[in-house]
Structure 1
Amino acid sequence: MPVRTMLAALAFAPLAIARTQAAAKPVSEVVDMLKEMQTTLEKEQKADEDMYAELRGWCKENNDVKSVEVSDGQARIQELTGLAAEANASAQSLATEMSALATEVSDATAALDAARVLHGNKVDTFNDNEKSLYKDIEAVEAASTAISGGVPALMQIPEGRLKEMSAKLQDAVTRRAQRLDNTLSVRDHERLEAFFQDPAGFVKGLSLMQAPIGGELAGMFEAMKDDFNVDLKALQDEMAKEQSTYDELMASKKEEIKAGPFEGHFGCRGLRAAFSQSLPKPF
């Protein structure tokens, strides 16, 4: 190589080196930048992989849980469907029973009303019969008291009082004629009939008789009074029995009515309990 050429090359060598170094610097920066980007991307990839693994695990876990919940929910739906059908059947059965019980209550109420009317009629009849018996006993007692003083005492009784006594006694004998058939003899009936027709004349006739018949008349009146008292006792006993039967019937029917269609054989609480048992249970 010629010297001039060599010198020229040597002269330009630093410049060429500088240019080469200048050209190499941007490449190095790019390489460094790429390495930095690679490092960043690797970190992000690692973070993404970690997040993916975490999310995958969470999804798998929740999928298992939700699958169980879905399965349980479907089973619960089937159970509730069956319970709803049972509840509907129970409701219909209870409605039928309540209707029957309402009819029973209606019948019991009607029976109660009928029993009240019947008992009221019996009480009225009893009161009339009792009053009549007391009246007849009083009439016989008045005659018995009058005769107990003997014929002289009878003679002192005013004619008007004798007629009143005779009328009351005649009413009693007429009302109790059938009862007195076995108590009074034919002679007793004849004496009573004579007294009823003419009380004052009958008393005067007694005063003229030699036979002491005052005791016989007193015995007759006492027998009549005993019969009437026996009848009164029987009437009162019968009424007491009737009252007891009536009270028991009233208590029984009132209990049935109190039970009513909302109580029935279960009672109100029982119906609610029976129905609530057939309702679906909450989750």
Structure 2
Amino acid sequence: MTWFLARHRRRFLNAGMEDTVRWCAGPDKTVLGNHRTDQYWIEIFAPSAAPVSAGIARLFLETLKLAGGWDYEAVARLINNLRATTAFLPDRDIPSLAHALRRLQDREIVCITAASKLAQLVFPAAEVHIRQELSWQAILSRQQHPLSGMALQNAQDWYASAQDYVSYHAECRRILAGEMTRADFIEAAEVVTSLLRTVPGPLSDPAIPDAFFQRYLLDKMLFHEGWHIKFGRIANCDESIPVNDQLRPGLYQRLRSYIRLGASEAIA
């Protein structure tokens, strides 16, 4: 890991904890004003729930900031077919899901992020990692890859790398195994897991493994590392906090406020 990732590790981890609890708050909460939480979508996409409509498909894509240019009826059918799937292997099936989504919109958008997010919500017990450009930059930087910190040369480069979900998934699995040997990450994962298990909703179901929260936390941590690489600052973080702080002041209370009030009303 490069020196600045190591130096700011606690900040990235704290930011990842906040995002995990914010986006996994109860199904009745909202994030960033009017976006529904992931617990809401896990409920909506559950096999026992009502069929997904075109309107629900549109709302989901709007949450991912992908609204416009879609055949929403076709997206709804794709989601409903996915919900009926009994055997789903992320590294095998997410690339084909991304390809199927790409055919349902008219802007040639790379759909690997949407596909991996959809898979995570439909199959929360599956070993899914969310494929994002910023997370990929973080992984490259952790590897001290020559492309780390640089924009990919063109859209085709990003499309080609995005399609390689198998390698991305394997790398996330390797990184998570390493993080689960580090005391600070283990503690952070235990905190968010214990908090979110108390929230009425699908994530309180013991059928959802603790590994869901560990993967979610890692994905958010990698996102914030990638944000720092791309923009030179830490997203949603008070840079005045000393870098050697073990715990962001008031973090636990803030996490609890996301659960109690919802992310849009949480304490500052």
TM bucket (normalised to shorter chain) is: under 0.3
- Give the TM-score normalised by the residue count of structure 1: 0.22
Name the larger-Rg structure: 1
TM-score by length of structure 2 reads 0.23
The structure with the largest helix share of the pair is 1
